[in-house]
Amino acid sequence: MPEQDTDPQQSDVPLTEQWQKEQQHWQRLLLTYADSAAQDENFLIHVGNAMRGSLLAGKPYPGTVSEQPAKIDATMTSDEVVFAVRRLEGQVIALTAAIGALTRRFPPAPSDGPVTTP
């Protein structure tokens, strides 16, 4: 005895169209997940830490393999120097974010004249 579909509407649609709709649904689901992950601060922190760790280890992050390895000067091979540079970079980014937050919180006064305090 052949199987019968329980949904009469689905039997009217050709299999190719059903497959195409299903594939579109999966694509939308994956794009929604990628968009929400890109906006999730914890996810971005973990990805940043993983990429930073791969830099410190001197190994490329998976999926970012370059065609030719970059030649590194003998004076720049120290892990301490790379770590210090990355730490400074993080501090500059944090400082820039703090300044941006302050400028959004306290917009500059109009420049009609000198600002006096009572």
CB 29 within 8 A of CB 21: no
Q: How large is the greatest C-alpha to C-alpha distance in the chain, in angstroms? A: 93
Rg of the chain over all Cα atoms, to the nearest angstrom? 27
Average pLDDT over residues 28-57: 84
Digit-coded pLDDT (tens) for 50-64:
878 877 777 776 665
State the pLDDT at residue 1.
46
